[in-house]
């Protein structure tokens, strides 16, 4: 029976001691072929592997030389030996060609530029938190979220979004997806099992609500936002500041009608910090704090990978939602919560948001200036995306055209539920590319759009 041996770089081989040089070479080939030693990975030094396996270093040196000649390993003077990046087949064989390459340019909606993450500010805040926090911070923490973050959020949301909040009504969760899930369960446990969404809207959130026990229905959206007169549900999820994906802002009369409808309103303020052309639109929650669940997130301002979001709840929902959140088991990192609290309290978060707002507005302006002036673009006043209209028959060609231009982009029709209301177009997420790549992404978009409309 073969023994498993490990080296100083945690490389595993199935090799029988005493098998000799040929057996060792076969074991390394097998490790490369089945992916245990991945292309580009550093392999153990000859000294380390010889020590681990109990063989002469010269034996390992000769094996490495043979495998380098065969194309399995790559060596260069003064650098560690690595698994060859050309693949796991020897050079005498045909090259491995991938037919599923990721697009070069990214204009997918709902994504911020990851290169804008404030690394230095985050690192400095992390250092302060680690140095100053008591030991208890590294134990189990309040299921509603770190008190320091809830206090910082109450002040920040009040001045930046007009939210009427106090820390006792704020619950921190792992992204808006978890917020939808726990709200769905909490409302179900209270006897409310029907939840409405805007049409169009993002299918993932509808699916999560359905999985939490809610019957999902949709209500159409027009240029004034949700058609409140067609709402017949005890709960509804809306994006009033910048409708996702159409980008319209809910009209004042609709906002008033919605909070008077009697429904529990879940306000998804996913990109409320990014308004470019006029005064910020205040949160719907301020009109009816005991009727509206305000939800916000750090995904667009900082990074989606942090999984940091928050709910400002009506008092009647604080305990049910906290209980549902506790039973879910998932928690955002307490350390990350404290770092965000430090950023907010120190003013670093506001400075970062202002820098991002300027960058995204610049991209929006470049994009709009490059498009035909008579094109009825939607959603340009705010957010990280806009909508370019296309006839439905032209939109069917978007996936193939985007692939030809190596462009990741989202067709508008995929957001609709009711075919009677469906419109064609593409949702252009101008936040997704890194800053240096935006010019190339814009060129690819214009080429694709010209191809589809000419």
Mean pLDDT, residues 67-86 taken together: 80
- Pair 240, 139 in one domain: yes
- DSSP per-residue codes, 109-159: TT---GGGS-HHHHHHHHHHHHHHS-GGGGS---TT--HHHHHHHHHHHHH
- Pair 362, 322 in one domain: no
Domain annotation covers residue 264: yes
**What's the Cα-to-Cα distance from 258 to each of 112, 169, 242, 285, 377, rounded to whole Å?**
30, 22, 16, 11, 27
| CATH code of the domain containing 12 | 1.10.10.10
Domain annotation covers residue 91: no
- Pair 308, 360 in one domain: no
**The total number of residues written for the chain in this structure:** 454
Q: How far apart are CA 142 and CA 425, in angstroms?
A: 45
Residue 22 predicted with pLDDT over 50: yes
Reading the block at residue 113, the tokens are 């530029």
* Residue 251 DSSP class: P
Answer yes or no: are the C-beta atoms of 342 and 372 closer than 8 Å.
no
More confident residue, 102 or 100: 102
Mutual orientation of helices 175-189 and 203-211 as an angle, nearest 10°?
40
Mean pLDDT, residues 122-150 taken together: 91
| CATH code of the domain containing 247 | 3.40.640.10
| Count of beta carbons in the 10 Å neighbourhood of residue 123 | 11
pLDDT given for residue 87 in this prediction: 45
Domain annotation covers residue 417: yes
Residue at which a domain ends, from 318, 347, 376: 347
pLDDT given for residue 64 in this prediction: 87
| CATH code of the domain containing 422 | 3.90.1150.10
**3-state SS class at 263:** coil
Reading the block at residue 216, the tokens are 């999902």
Residue matched to tokens 């970062």: 352
Domain annotation covers residue 148: yes
Residue matched to tokens 């090799």: 15
Answer yes or no: are the C-beta atoms of 81 and 73 closer than 8 Å.
yes
Residue 148 predicted with pLDDT over 70: yes
pLDDT given for residue 282 in this prediction: 87
Residue 369 structural domain: 105-112+351-453
Residue matched to tokens 């911070």: 137
| Count of beta carbons in the 10 Å neighbourhood of residue 26 | 15
Q: How far apart are CA 351 and CA 125, in angstroms?
A: 14
Residue 98 predicted with pLDDT over 50: no
- Pair 422, 316 in one domain: no
- On average, the pLDDT of the chain sits at 89
Mean pLDDT, residues 427-432 taken together: 95
- DSSP per-residue codes, 399-416: HHHHHHTTEE-EEGGGG-
**3-state SS class at 76:** coil
Residue 231 predicted with pLDDT over 80: yes
- Pair 343, 359 in one domain: no
Reading the block at residue 108, the tokens are 């997918």
| Domain count along the chain | 3
Q: For residue range 441-451, what is the model confidence (pLDDT) as tens digits?
A: 999 999 999 99
Q: Which residues pair with 170 in a beta bridge?
A: 312
- Pair 303, 417 in one domain: no
- Pair 340, 397 in one domain: no
179 pLDDT band, cuts 50/70/90, is very high
Which residues are CB-contacts of 167 (< 8 A; sequence separation ≥ 6)?
147, 150, 151, 153, 154
Task: Find the range with the poorest average confidence among 87-91, 214-218, 263-267.
Answer: 87-91
pLDDT given for residue 92 in this prediction: 47
């Amino acid at each position: 029976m073969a023994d498993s041996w490990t080296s100083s770089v945690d490389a595993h081989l199935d090799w029988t001691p005493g098998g000799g040089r040929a057996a060792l070479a076969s074991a390394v080939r097998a490790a490369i072929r089945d992916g245990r030693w991945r292309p580009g990975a550093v392999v153990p030094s000859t000294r380390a592997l010889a020590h681990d396996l109990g063989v002469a270093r010269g034996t390992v040196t000769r094996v490495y030389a043979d495998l380098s000649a065969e194309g399995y390993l790559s060596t260069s003077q003064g650098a560690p030996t690595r698994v060859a990046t050309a693949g796991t087949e020897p050079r005498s064989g045909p090259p491995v060609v991938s037919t599923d390459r990721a697009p070069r340019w990214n204009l997918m909606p709902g994504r911020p530029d990851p290169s804008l993450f404030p690394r230095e500010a985050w690192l400095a805040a992390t250092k302060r938190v680690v140095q100053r926090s008591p030991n208890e911070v590294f134990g189990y923490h309040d299921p509603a979220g770190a008190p320091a973050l809830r206090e910082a959020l109450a002040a920040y949301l009040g001045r930046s979004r007009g939210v009427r909040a106090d820390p006792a009504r704020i619950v921190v969760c792992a992204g808006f997806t978890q917020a939808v899930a726990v709200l769905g369960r909490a409302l179900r446990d209270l006897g409310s099992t029907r939840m409405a969404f805007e049409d169009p809207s993002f299918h993932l959130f509808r699916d999560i609500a359905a999985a939490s026990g809610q019957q999902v229905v949709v209500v159409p959206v027009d240029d004034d936002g949700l058609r409140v007169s067609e709402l017949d549900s005890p709960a509804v999820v809306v994006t009033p500041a910048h409708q996702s994906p159409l980008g319209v802002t809910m009209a004042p009369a609709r906002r008033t009608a919605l909070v008077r409808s009697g429904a529990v309103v879940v306000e998804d303020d996913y990109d409320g910090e990014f308004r470019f052309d006029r005064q910020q639109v205040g949160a719907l929650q301020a009109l009816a704090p005991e009727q509206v669940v305000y939800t916000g997130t750090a995904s667009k301002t900082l990074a989606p990978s942090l999984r940091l979001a928050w709910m400002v709840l009506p008092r009647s929902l604080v305990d049910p939602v906290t209980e549902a959140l506790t039973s879910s088991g998932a928690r955002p990192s307490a350390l990350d919560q404290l770092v965000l609290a430090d950023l907010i309290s120190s003013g670093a978060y506001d400075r970062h948001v202002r820098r991002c707002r300027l960058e995204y507005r610049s991209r929006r302006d470049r994009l709009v200036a490059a498009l035909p002036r008579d094109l009825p673009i939607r959603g340009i006043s705010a957010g990280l995306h806009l909508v370019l209209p296309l006839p439905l028959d032209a939109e069917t060609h978007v996936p193939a055209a985007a692939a030809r231009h190596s462009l990741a982009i989202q067709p508008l029709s995929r957001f609709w539920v009711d075919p009677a209301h469906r419109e064609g177009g593409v949702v252009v997420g101008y936040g997704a590319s890194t800053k240096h790549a935006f010019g190339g992404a814009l060129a690819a978009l214009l080429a694709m759009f010209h191809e589809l409309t000419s």
